[in-house]
């Protein structure tokens, strides 16, 4: 059974993934045929994290989705300049 990490500091707590976000993520990986099988742990300022999560919620998106979108864009941008 998974251990609840409620004892972590607020900056390290990860909000639960909603069913719709999880289903959307599964649909996305089915379309591309790629599995999201790796994790990236980052440390950021707590105020920036809170502002980012609030903005994501306001825009009806998830933090993970936006970070993945940034990473993909960053890769495309820098790969095209290397060719």
Please report the pLDDT score of residue 36 as a whole number. Answer: 83
| Contact indicator for 15, 53 with CB cutoff of 8 Å | yes
**Measured CA angle at 12 (ends 10, 14), to 5 deg:** 95
Please report the pLDDT score of residue 81 as a whole number. Answer: 65
Please report the pLDDT score of residue 33 as a whole number. Answer: 75
pTM for this model (two decimals): 0.57
State whether residue 58 is helix, strand or coil. helix
Question: Which pair of tokens denotes residue 13?
Answer: 């707590």
**Measured CA angle at 51 (ends 53, 41), to 5 deg:** 55
| Contact indicator for 26, 33 with CB cutoff of 8 Å | no
State whether residue 11 is helix, strand or coil. helix
The pLDDT averaged over each successive group of 10 residues in the chain (83 residues) is 45 51 55 83 97 98 97 93 59
Please report the pLDDT score of residue 23 as a whole number. Answer: 55
């Amino acid at each position: 059974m998974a251990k609840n990490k409620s004892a972590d500091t607020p900056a390290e707590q990860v909000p639960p993934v909603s069913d719709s976000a999880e289903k959307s993520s599964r649909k996305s990986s089915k379309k591309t045929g790629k599995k999201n099988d790796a994790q990236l742990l980052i440390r950021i300022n707590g105020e920036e994290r809170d502002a980012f999560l609030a903005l994501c919620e306001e825009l009806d998106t998830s933090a993970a989705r936006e970070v993945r979108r940034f990473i993909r864009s960053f890769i495309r941008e820098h790969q095209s300049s290397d060719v």
